[in-house]
Amino acid sequence: MTIVNVTTRSHSEMVDITREVSALIPKGMQDGLCCIYSMHTTAGITINENADPDVCSDIVKFMEKSVPWDEAMFRHYEGNSAAHIKSSLMGFSQMIPVSNGKLVLGTWQGIYFCEYDGPRSRKVHITFLEE
Ligand code: ZN
């Protein structure tokens, strides 16, 4: 298991961590699985398009509009229920196959850390399981 540190710069954003995760594939590993897991309750992990940056900004915009930051609407004492809800909607982990020593990602796919209560320093756990 390895940890990737992610520094987010906005209250809500998607950070491409594809390069960092790819660089961690163990030397000599051919086939298996890569698990990307966030321990945070106000962030998520997803896979989506990394060609047009408007896709990520549209997703961030959609999530902000779907779950508005409205402290009066929720009971949680920290006032950040919107971030907790978005985190659960997006999910905390992704599993990606590894084939011939490479992550099996489509041409336009990237791995994203999704921040919903930033800016903060975050940690993403990366585990490889060899076949
Ligand atoms: Zn909270």
CA of 28 to the centre of ligand 1 (A): 41
Model confidence at 25: pLDDT above 90: yes
How many domains would you assign to the chain? 1
CA of 116 to the centre of ligand 1 (A): 11
User: Over the stretch 30-57, which tens digit does the pLDDT of each residue have?
Assistant: 999 999 999 999 999 999 999 999 999 9
Q: Mean pLDDT across the chain, nearest whole number?
A: 97
pLDDT: which is higher, 70 or 94? 94
If you write DSSP's letter for every residue of 46-112 in order, what string do you get?
EEEE-S-HHHHHHHHHHHHHHS---GGG---TTS-HHHHHHHHHH-SEEEEEEETTEE---TTEEEE
CA of 96 to the centre of ligand 1 (A): 29
pLDDT for res 71:
84
Read off the DSSP letter of residue 127. Answer: E
CATH of the domain at 89: 2.60.120.460
CA of 42 to the centre of ligand 1 (A): 7
Query: Among 3-12, 13-22, 46-55, 70-79, where is mean pLDDT lowest?
Result: 70-79
CA of 63 to the centre of ligand 1 (A): 17
User: Over the stretch 101-110, which tens digit does the pLDDT of each residue have?
Assistant: 999 999 999 9
d(CA 90, CA 99): 26
pLDDT for res 2:
97
CA of 86 to the centre of ligand 1 (A): 12
User: Over the stretch 71-110, which tens digit does the pLDDT of each residue have?
Assistant: 899 999 999 999 999 999 999 999 999 999 999 999 999 9
The pTM assigned to this predicted structure is 0.96
CA of 13 to the centre of ligand 1 (A): 18
Dihedral sign (CA 52, 57, 60, 63): negative
CA of 111 to the centre of ligand 1 (A): 25
* Domain coverage including residue 28: 2-130
pLDDT for res 23:
98
